[in-house]
Structure 1
Amino acid sequence: MDVSLTLWVLTILGLCALVAADFFIGGRKPHEVSLKEAGVWTAVWMALAGLFGLGLLLFGGGQPAGEFFAGFITEKSLSVDNLFVFVLIMAKFSVPSIYQQRVLMVGVLIALVLRAVFIGAGAAIIANFSWIFYLFGAFLIWTAWKLIQEARGGEEEEEFEENRFLKLVERRFPSTDRYHGTKLFIVENGKRLMTPMLIVMLAIGTTDVLFALDSIPAIFGLTQDPYIVFTANAFALMGLRQLYFLIGGLLRKLVHLSYGLSVILGFIGVKLVLHALHESGVAVPEISIPVSLGVICAVLVVTTITSLRASANLANSAKESAEIPEARSPEGERDKENARA
């Protein structure tokens, strides 16, 4: 898809306008986000992504539109995994509920800027070194296997560990031990101090870079168009704040999410290796975008259904175990006999 500099500028300005509207309408005043508000804004961002994809269909054709929707759905599904870590970060820094939406808004914007750098670097590498597809494909297959191993290993990691960048910031810049509204810096006893608000924003933004290490190669496996890669990432990330509040309670029920994401990453990894072989002149079949989109959607649907069923069965089993009277158990009868004696 041939994208002019003018279209790039207009797209970035349009995205900035959407972010500004989101901030002034729903995020300017600190408050606890209700399920209704989160649901409405999630629907708005999904609709905007759909309209953008339809625009690509009308002006660019079916290929760019298909690549955008496949990339958007992939990035959106991978970003849900980010929410688990965001929950840990909020708990680690004891962020008051009324400030969480502000933290997420700024943190996601930091993440989007950093991802744009990754996308630019990835596009430049792909344009000059076609063999990079082998590396991307192998990395995604390895990541998929690692996800399965972690899922089979049991519990998710329960504590967030600060990365080196955050530790460096905290060492170099003195900070307060409590929040001061939404202020990032305050002056106390003549000293300029950083507040925990800035630290947690940096934590959200920089931690997302770790997730970009697999999500960026994944979307390059679906399209090599930097414009589509960037816009798919932008729409997937900008609705992440509302999604955090909407499905926050549902996250723990998605017990098979890691398996689904591993299948998607493994599938795209194989697709990348086949593409690399094809580019090298080897006669191998390539996986089309419609097939990729169908596989990704099917995996997500199946994963969601099996996760909810497994969670429901686990909850029912726990409920039935709790309802068994202690007196009917052998231990209960023995305790009663001992009490009588």
Structure 2
Amino acid sequence: MLDLPLWFEVGSLVVLTLILVGDLLLVLKRPHVPSFTESTLWVAFYVGLALVFAGLMFLLGDAEHGGQFLAGWLTEYSLSIDNLFVFVIIMARFSVPRKLQQEVLMVGIIIALILRGVFILLGASLIENFSWIFYLFGAWLVWTAIQQVRGDHEDDDSETFIVRMLRKRVNLTDEYDGVKLRTTIDGTRFFTPMLVVFVAIGTTDLLFALDSIPAIFGITHSAFIVFTANVFALMGLRQLYFLLGGLLERLEYLKYGIAFILAFIGVKLVLHAMHVNELPFINGGEHIEWAPEISTWMSLGVIVVAMAVATVASLIKARVDAKRRGNRLLDEVPHFTEDAGRRDR
């Protein structure tokens, strides 16, 4: 059981809240497109902050829970990058002006934090009272991994049912008015496309919360670690969006790495459910002692290797594809023969 000083837990939540509020105020007061250098510095700051927090977990807690935080943070960070990829699709789908994208991303991050907080409370309560929930969590993650490989979540030509209904039932204008949800045109009140964007972002956050919370509960049962890992994974996501830019589209194999992680954690959850089994129709309601328990450090290693392999493989493929396109362009350029060259001279 995690036994951290109360001052550390309360202080951590207060500091994280202040940082998030400060980031929000920065967006509101200085709406702009961050430069590559600015985005890099912010992302490095947030990653460094997460690593410092992990170090404190090792010092004030123990190696097991410090490892759980690292594994949970990396898992949530990888899922947040996948979430970010869908944000890119939504931004393009609704032609959100680049100068407004910071505000949209910040709203998306706040919605994600609220939804994940709710799911963390629900998940912790379910785990405490119903050990069989691990079977459902595990099956859900394996199914999600299959959907991830199939690419069903990347269909950018479709809209959610909620968005389609919204389009039919409210008066929408085609023009944005900053981040305002409503605007007046010739004396008539209209909703701006920003309303549809926020609904699409919120729906996406809901779907990713349904994946991410079971995934991290497969690594740790500590609600404190689950929440802080989620917060650190979402911090800096706005700057990461501008830092990666077009690189997200080149990470073609990222979805396979994430799918592998989800499937691995899904299997781990099912094995844990077997180990603490209480369902009467499985092994007579007795624990299945031979079911292996996958350690935190093995989970951490699998997560790191899966993301590294997926990222490196994606970059190699992007480089090979770029060379092929370059060679194809060179082949299409007309070449003069030696005789033609001599005639020109």
Greater mean alpha carbon deviation, residues 215-224 or residues 141-150:
141-150
**Is the CA contact (8 Å cut-off) linking 1:30 and 1:101 kept in structure 2?**
yes
| Equivalent AA in structure 1 for residue 133 of structure 2 | I
CA shift in 2, pair 1:64/1:96, >3 Å:
same
**1:61 alignment partner in structure 2:** 62
Post-superposition offset of 1:276 = 1.1
**1:141 alignment partner in structure 2:** 142
Q: Distance in 2 between matches of 1:184 and 1:300?
A: 38
1:38-86 deviation line (CA, Å, top 9, x unaligned): 1111111111111222222221222221111100100111111112211
Greater mean alpha carbon deviation, residues 105-114 or residues 18-27:
18-27
**1:216 counterpart (203, 213, 216):** 213
**2:71 alignment partner in structure 1:** 70
Post-superposition offset of 1:291 = 1.0
**1:255 counterpart (252, 256, 262):** 252
| Equivalent AA in structure 2 for residue 41 of structure 1 | W
**1:197 counterpart (194, 202, 224):** 194
Please give the residue correspondences for 1:5-20 in structure 2 after superposition, counting only pairs within 5 Å.
10-20=11-21
Post-superposition offset of 1:297 = 0.4
Q: Distance in 1 between matches of 2:260 and 2:104?
A: 32
| Equivalent AA in structure 2 for residue 147 of structure 1 | Q
Q: Distance in 2 between matches of 1:45 and 1:307?
A: 25
Greater mean alpha carbon deviation, residues 173-182 or residues 131-140:
173-182
1:155-197 deviation line (CA, Å, top 9, x unaligned): 9524251342x44555555444312223333455666543333
Post-superposition offset of 1:206 = 2.6
**Is the CA contact (8 Å cut-off) linking 1:133 and 1:275 kept in structure 2?**
yes
Please give the residue correspondences for 1:48-127 in structure 2 after superposition, counting only pairs within 5 Å.
48-127=49-128
CA shift in 2, pair 1:167/1:98, >3 Å:
same
**Is the CA contact (8 Å cut-off) linking 1:222 and 1:289 kept in structure 2?**
yes
Post-superposition offset of 1:238 = 2.2
**1:264 alignment partner in structure 2:** 261
1:106-132 deviation line (CA, Å, top 9, x unaligned): 111011101111111111111111011
**2:159 counterpart (147, 161, 179):** 161
Q: Distance in 2 between matches of 1:36 and 1:27?
A: 20
**Is the CA contact (8 Å cut-off) linking 2:90 and 2:156 kept in structure 1?**
no
| Equivalent AA in structure 2 for residue 79 of structure 1 | S
Post-superposition offset of 1:265 = 1.0
| Equivalent AA in structure 2 for residue 286 of structure 1 | E
Q: Distance in 2 between matches of 1:190 and 1:5?
A: 56
**1:335 alignment partner in structure 2:** none
Post-superposition offset of 1:317 = 1.6
| Equivalent AA in structure 1 for residue 275 of structure 2 | H
CA shift in 2, pair 1:13/1:171, >3 Å:
farther
| Equivalent AA in structure 2 for residue 269 of structure 1 | G
Q: Distance in 2 between matches of 1:7 and 1:195?
A: 44
| Equivalent AA in structure 1 for residue 94 of structure 2 | F
**2:324 alignment partner in structure 1:** 317
Q: Distance in 1 between matches of 2:120 and 2:232?
A: 15
TM-score normalised per structure 2: 0.85
| Equivalent AA in structure 2 for residue 293 of structure 1 | L
CA shift in 2, pair 1:262/1:122, >3 Å:
same
**Is the CA contact (8 Å cut-off) linking 1:140 and 1:218 kept in structure 2?**
yes
**2:295 alignment partner in structure 1:** 288
Greater mean alpha carbon deviation, residues 198-207 or residues 35-44:
198-207
**Is the CA contact (8 Å cut-off) linking 1:108 and 1:205 kept in structure 2?**
no
**2:232 alignment partner in structure 1:** 235
1:213-239 deviation line (CA, Å, top 9, x unaligned): 221111110011111111111111122
| Equivalent AA in structure 2 for residue 319 of structure 1 | G
**1:331 alignment partner in structure 2:** none
Q: Distance in 1 between matches of 2:9 and 2:332?
A: 67
TM-score normalised per structure 1: 0.86
Number of aligned positions between the proteins: 324
**Is the CA contact (8 Å cut-off) linking 2:93 and 2:156 kept in structure 1?**
no
* C-alpha RMSD of the superposition: 2.5
Post-superposition offset of 1:33 = 2.0
